[in-house]
Amino acid sequence: MSLVGRLEDLALSDIFQILSIGKKTGALVIRGSSGSAVIVFKGGLVVRAENTTINGTLGHDLLRGGAIKESALKMALEVKEELPAKSIAEILFDIGAVSKDILERFSKKRIEKVVYQLLLWQEGDFQFELDDLDIAGKIEVKDFGWEVSKGISPEYLLMEGARVYDESAQQEYVSHEEISGGGEEGGWESEWGGPPAAERKDITALKSLTQELRFPNSISEITLLLLRFASDIFQRGVLFMTRNNEVVGLGQFGLEIERADEKIRETVISLKDSPFLTRIMNEAHSYRGELEKDKVTESMMEELGGGWPSEAAIFPIIAEGKVSAILYCDNLPTGEVIAETEGLEIFVSQAGLALEKALLQRRLNEMQVDMKNKAGM
């Protein structure tokens, strides 16, 4: 299978979803005005990534992080000249300068950095070749780093990358406000006698993500935005799509189980034996409080792992007059009290409207294709 196109037509989030859900193995190469990048997938997980805009190699990252000595990097660079097919990370490992665990940790950080930068690219060509893992020569970089053993979830990389971008934008905005306010004889501090109260997490997230929700590129982008918003407030969560009298796992964050994304997408829960979840679906109102035990909720908690939460929050997502999805969240890892969620509830409502628009646009596109096919007959 070859996947070829432009980022203007198929967003990076959609490409990642296709490769993740399909458990694809191969190399994704992206070329744009900002530079070039290669991302290696194995079984739908990202195991290696590099781009031409990052300064230095993984070896330089290790040196800056204090994991190796400068003499070790110098030796590895010299060996690299004699053995260009080996990566600097492999050489450092072979000479005993660094452990595998440290290489794994630094490699994951480098992969995250590559994906974070790619999220800022507005245009470019991409090509994915199935089962093609020969990345040498695909882009002009000095080194191709280290392949992480377990791989990283594409959904996690997208959510965390978007979070980093939002936090950076928010920090830039705050810094600008501080500079502007500081020029008038002490600004707010002298006028009010102290710094302003910290803004709630749900309101901050609502401000930063609402604009993105106005013009989503796809349904998958809407689901990612929902999970991103919820992950700012809760420690873990799962998004389910509704289908007849059951819900099907679509995405997650914070679950500490093996193959979390894959396992959630394989999860199908029948609602007929859960009066609790059925009531929430029928009332179509957000719920926050004790998670009532029944056959279905006990089975669901077993799938999510970790025990039973002291409280939970469930948000029905309404599109086209019916509950099309539900978002389940809790703070089970620490048992922390759930914070205010009004901002998330507003966003969930807006997400339902955005989902309606996306579904309508999909139908219109399908109708246009059918009309063209009939006209060509």
* Cα separation, 246 vs 240, whole angstroms: 9
Assign 38 a pLDDT band (cuts: 50, 70, 90).
very high
List the one residue out of 77, 18, 71, 27 whose CA is nearest residue 47: 27
Residues of the chain with CATH 3.30.450.40: 202-365
Report the sign of the C-alpha dihedral through residues 275, 278, 284, 286, in that order. Answer: positive
Q: pLDDT grade, residue 20 (50/70/90)?
A: confident
Per CATH, is 202-365 categorized as 3.30.450.40? yes
Looking at the predicted structure, is the pLDDT value of residue 220 above 50?
A: yes
Task: State yes or no: pLDDT of 43 exceeds 50.
Answer: yes
Cα–Cα dist 135/133, whole Å: 6
Give pLDDT tens digits for 314-332.
999 998 888 999 999 999 9
What residues contact residue 368 under an 8 Å CB cut-off, 6+ apart? none
**How many Å apart are CA 326 and CA 318, to the nearest integer?**
9
- Tell me how crowded residue 352 is: count the other CB atoms within 10 A of its CB: 21
CB-facing half-sphere around the CA of 36: CA atoms within 13 A: 13
C-beta atoms surrounding 137 within 10 Å: 6
For residue 49 the two structure tokens come to: 């990534």
pTM: 0.57
Query: d(Cα 346, Cα 228) in Å, to the nearest integer?
Result: 14
pLDDT at 152 over 60: yes
- Token pair, residue 221, equals 């982008």
> pLDDT (tens digit, 9 = 90+) per residue, 86-134?
899 999 999 999 999 999 999 999 999 998 888 888 889 999 988 888 7
Q: Which tokens belong to 262?
A: 């894959």
- Show the CA angle centred on residue 181, arms to residues 180 and 182, nearest 5°: 95
| pLDDT tens-digit readout, 61-99 | 999 999 999 999 999 999 988 888 889 999 999 999 999
- Higher-confidence residue of 273 and 374: namely 273
Pick 260 or 214 by higher pLDDT. Answer: 260
